[in-house]
Amino acid sequence: MLNFAVGPVMMGQSTLNIGLEQIPYFRTENFSAVMKQNERLFKSFLNAPENARAVFMTGSGTASMEAAVINTLTKNDRALIVNGGSFGARFCEICSVYEIPYTQINCDCGKTLTDAQLLPFENKGYTAFIVNLCETSTGVLYDLRLISDFCKRNGLLLIVDAVSAFLCDSLDMSKRQIDVVITGSQKALALAPGLSLMCFSQRAVDRILANEQKSFYFDLKKYLKDGERGQTPFTPAVGIILQLNNRFKEIEAKGGAAAEIAAARHKAEYFRAAIKDLPLEIFSDNPSNAVTSLTLNDKSKSAYKLFELLMNEYGIWLCPNGGDLKDKVFRVGHMGALNDADYDLLVDALKKGLRSEKIKK
């Protein structure tokens, strides 16, 4: 099996080896030391301020999307949400459920955010800005400099979902004055799904501590308090946390976040160069290093059927889309334990698959 999906992704052998081990009891000083090291390394890879705090939550990235929003925002806030795909829409749903006032900034699928779209919201009393840095459903990467400058001018709390962007695209928490960063275990960290990671600026921490939270599991006051001693309020995904520690130490030894981002960029550029003569077009205006979204030039053929063909006949997993994009767009990830030879195999399979009559709609 070769997995070019955008999560879960191909895991390295050292991660797989840890997965074979028995899971230890975790209310110990040894495990607390692992958790504290994870926090230190996570913050370093984000270039987070020294007083920033990290939280590790057992749950998917969506769990942290919800937790981050409902702990830092209240009904007294007014949020701006970039909605350019299914994950931007998810933030809108979360705010709707908790009756947090928000306004959508709608971006067409695959299109990036522009100055002109932000201009109507200058000095309009908004308090927070929420964005999926890489809108994973389309592969578009939003301009973080543009967003950060807008938030600085308007004094907005900046919440960044970097579930796909972390370790694939540039992400400097201090330079861009980001207040909340969210990511997950199953993307560039190349671990199993089930662990989400958050990092909070002091301003975000102050909001969490001041807000009255009605959730039991998602009350981040508990996580911040227990995190001081390297623990979590509830049973964590112990096995994944141990794999995370190993992965973080590997990343540090290989040159840190910059080296990981360079590796993802190489995979993306290598693949995009290899398919330039195929009857495919890149779907997004400004594609992330994490993922390439593609459309078929021949509109009589189905992207989803191409996904099925490569899975069933070649043992190669792409990443399909749903909804209106199901037959139009498929995605190729550039995360995890993949190399040039793996992409050569993928390109060869794509050449054959695109010629097949089996992918006709």
Cα–Cα distance between 261 and 259 in angstroms, integer?
A: 5
Token pair, residue 72, equals: 């830092």
Q: Which residues contact 46 (CB under 8 A, 6 or more apart)?
A: 52, 166, 171, 172, 173, 181, 199, 257
Cα–Cα distance between 83 and 104 in angstroms, integer?
A: 6
Yes or no: say if 261 and 87 are a contact pair by the CB < 8 Å rule. Answer: no
Q: Which pLDDT value is given to residue 281?
A: 97
Yes or no: say if 302 and 360 are a contact pair by the CB < 8 Å rule. Answer: yes
Q: Which pLDDT value is given to residue 131?
A: 98
Q: Which pLDDT value is given to residue 231?
A: 98
Token pair, residue 57, equals: 């939550």
Query: Comparing C-alpha atoms, which of 281, 250, 264, 358 is closest to residue 313?
Result: 358
Q: Return left, alpha or beta for 280; rule: phi > 0 is left, psi -120 to 50 is alpha, else beta.
A: beta
Q: Which pLDDT value is given to residue 125?
A: 97
Neighbours of 179 (CB within 10 A): 24
Q: Which pLDDT value is given to residue 86?
A: 87
Q: Which pLDDT value is given to residue 356?
A: 96
Yes or no: say if 281 and 97 are a contact pair by the CB < 8 Å rule. Answer: no
Neighbouring-strand partners of residue 82? 105
Q: Which pLDDT value is given to residue 332?
A: 98
Residues of the chain scoring pLDDT < 50: none
Q: Which pLDDT value is given to residue 184?
A: 97
Q: Which pLDDT value is given to residue 142?
A: 97
Token pair, residue 18, equals: 């840890």
